[in-house]
Amino acid sequence: MNTPAVTTDRFDSTATITSRASIRCLVVHDDLELRLRLASLVRRALPKTDADCITCASFDALPPERIAAYGALLLVVEFSLRDHTVDPLARLERTHRLTPRLPIFVFARGGDERNAARTIKMGAIDYWPVHAVKLGELTAAMQPLLIAPPPAEPAAPAVSAPPPAAADSRHEPQIAGYRLVKTIAESAAASVYLARNDDLTQPVALKVQALKGRHVVSDDDRQRFVRECQILSSLNHRSVADVLDYGVTEDYLYLALEYFPCGSLRDRLRNPVSEADAVNYGRQIGEALQVLHIAHVVHRDLKPSNLMLTDDNRVILIDFGSASMHFEASDLSRSDLCTGTPYYVCPEQIDNCDPDARGDLYSLGIVLYEMLVGTLPFSGNSLQEIFTAHRSAPVPRLPQRVLRYQPIIDRLLAKNPAERYPSAGLFLEDLSAVSAPIRTSVAGVSHMGVSSP
């Protein structure tokens, strides 16, 4: 059987891995443009580091000893694959098993908090959504590679191999008064735990950010954290998450929020949403945005994973880490990447313009369209295609069954912010007028109107 040729984008595969750099990384993905951008970011993060780039097939053909000769692996993982029989993390699992000391950094497309937690548990040193990689975070994460680069691994798996050096930086934090029950989510900057407090009757979601260790927290980070606490504490609305506690210890920043065991709207959208529920959720989101905008707060990252559900079908807006901040482009590509999730970001944010309240309404339009139709209005096979669709693609037509919402969707998703609703209140007025004839049923009895949460 012939072995497939293995080539990199910059070097012949048979070449000895040596260069002026003190360490060489390997970037793996099938999108040439994306892996070259990521390699460029690596060189910016650590000037003494260089990177080779290869496709997934070429990487799979490499022997373990060749992979282990690299200082680190940067693996782009696709969590939105249509083939659900293939585990997106299979390549990570195999590589970590064969080269357990090799630091692996995962960059995810289509992942969520659960994917992030699973990625870390399977041996990755760190995890980022590919659209939100920051140069400072990557620098901090990779700095230990220069201090103690890992030795080459033998081909056979080391059964008792020690965990990566950075793993101990993720030990459970000690926050006075709180008992951690389990990890809900982890990211490069913070972890979220299900926790209990003797003074609180209900469990809480405890967001914790370390002040020491591999991720150095700057004054800007501290100010951003305090701003999130202040914003949430000042808003008193049933559709905005309540802050129960927050503070700073010698080692951590922490924020205790309501815990939502029913999951997020992203989880709910895995199954079809009725027209009545779509309108109900859309109304609640609009009401939450109205409260924010009256307080001169712009969320800037509205998406289904930031909308939690309660057991009485209420939608709760969370995650204000990007609120009231000047737009800051992702360092992975300042020309076309942004801090907001690509599928829900407004055109002006893509173009590095600071979005106002109308940017949140654009994101609401994406979410409302997705709930009504079951698919996203703008998509693509790459970030560039998605962003191009946001900038120039016409707004898709709704199916006949929900066609009456087309004028609302058209106005929410207008490319020019001046053509969108100037306020959430006006959106709510139109939504109420158009949805008034919806016929729903409760316990088999039909009636007019949209049910309240």
Rounded Cα gap, residues 269 and 260, in angstroms: 16
Q: Which of 224-228, 364-368, 398-402 bottoms out in mean pLDDT, i.e. has the lowest?
A: 224-228
pLDDT value at residue 164:
36
What's the CATH code, domain 23-166?
3.40.50.2300
pTM confidence score: 0.56
Largest pairwise CA distance in the chain: 76
Range list of H helices, 382-422: 383-392, 406-412
Q: Residue 134 in 3-state DSSP?
A: coil
> Is residue 16 pLDDT above 60, yes or no?
no
> Is residue 190 pLDDT above 50, yes or no?
yes
Q: Is the CB of residue 265 less than 8 Å from the CB of residue 281? A: yes
pLDDT value at residue 264:
84
Q: Is the CB of residue 192 less than 8 Å from the CB of residue 175? A: no
Q: Which of 301, 319, 336, 360 is catalytic?
A: 301
**Cα 418-424-425 angle, rounded to 5 deg:** 115
**Domain definitions of the chain by residue range:** 23-166, 171-258, 265-448
> Is residue 41 pLDDT above 80, yes or no?
yes
- Sorting pLDDT into bands at 50, 70 and 90, what band is 203? confident
pLDDT value at residue 372:
97
Provide the edge-to-edge strand list for the sheet that holds 23-28: 49-54, 23-28, 72-78, 104-109, 126-129
What's the CATH code, domain 265-448?
1.10.510.10
**DSSP state string for 276-331:** HHHHHHHHHHHHHHHHHHHTT---S---GGGEEE-TTS-EEE---TTTT------T
Q: Residue 382 in 3-state DSSP?
A: coil
Which helix (H) or strand (E) segment holds residue 448: the answer is strand 445-448
Structure tokens at 162: 């020690």
pLDDT in tens, 99-119: 999 999 999 888 777 788 888
Topology of domain 171-258 in CATH is Phosphorylase Kinase; domain 1 (3.30.200)
Compute CA 92 distance to the chain's CA centroid, rounded to the nearest angstrom: 19
User: Cβ atoms within 10 A of the Cβ of 12, count?
Assistant: 8
**Catalytic residue check, 301:** yes
Q: Is the CB of residue 80 less than 8 Å from the CB of residue 110? A: yes
Long-range contacts of 419-424 (CB under 8 A, 24+ apart): 420/358, 420/361, 420/362, 421/358, 421/361, 422/358, 423/290, 423/293, 423/357, 424/286, 424/287, 424/289, 424/290, 424/293, 424/357, 424/360, 424/361, 424/364
> Is residue 125 pLDDT above 70, yes or no?
yes
Q: Which residue has the higher pLDDT, 416 or 86?
A: 416
pLDDT value at residue 135:
80
Q: What's the burial of 304, exposed, middle or buried (CB within 10 Å: 0-12/13-18/19+)?
A: buried
DSSP state of 264: B
DSSP state of 188: S
pLDDT in tens, 297-336: 888 889 998 898 888 888 998 876 555 433 233 333 333 3
pLDDT > 70 in the chain, percent: 77
Q: Residue 22 in 3-state DSSP?
A: coil
> Is residue 195 pLDDT above 60, yes or no?
yes
